[in-house]
Amino acid sequence: MIDPILAALSRLSAAEEFLDYLEVPYDPQIVRVNRLHILKRFQKYLLSSAAPKARAEKDLHLFYRGLLEQAYQDFVISTPLQEKVFAVFQQPVEKKKPAAATVAIEDLRASLRSGSMGGQAPTGKRSGLPSGGSSS
């Protein structure tokens, strides 16, 4: 016997359609931001739960409604980043090291002292750099 609720759900595509069909109340703003996460979590709950033995359509409707409501509530109280539904969120965050300086400060000072400033003579004014930056 084909599950009539699953057959109906297979024809739906938008998160709002699932929520409306299973009569789950929802905040449109939460669904707008989390629609894919809610549906992915609903799918996870479907795959990890056994449908009730009683195959009455009313019982199946309540069962699927409970799973979808649970998936929706996961994102009412949490965020996609915290829930880590998709693989991209499950990867550890790499701590990036700051880029290493490629020019030593002493090399810069030496080039200023030697006057190699692209043909321009130093003006003697302060540059506004934290180190003072005055050319003497």
Global pTM value: 0.59
In the block, tokens 């409604």 appear at: 65
Place of tokens 């609903």: 42
- Mean pLDDT is lowest, of 9-23, 76-90, 122-136, for 122-136
Distance CA 69, CA 67 (A): 5
Quick one: 90 exposed, middle or buried, by C-beta within 10 A (0-12, 13-18, 19+)?
exposed
Whole-angstrom distance, CA of residue 124 vs CA of residue 134? 6
Tokens of 74: 């996961």
Round to whole Å and give the CA distance between 81 and 46: 22
The answer to whether residue 67 is domain-embedded is yes
Is pLDDT at 97 greater than 60 in this prediction? yes
Does residue 109 sit within a domain?
Answer: no
30-89 pLDDT, tens digit each = 999 889 989 999 999 999 988 777 778 898 999 999 999 999 998 888 665 555 554 544
Q: Provide the number of structural domains found in the chain.
A: 1
- Over residues 100-113, the mean pLDDT reads 77
Q: What percent of the chain has pLDDT over 70?
A: 66
Would the pLDDT of 124 be above 60? no
34/12 Cα distance (integer angstroms): 17
| Structural domain range at position 37 | 4-90
Residue 71 belongs to some domain of the structure: yes
Per the domain annotation, does 19 fall within a domain? yes
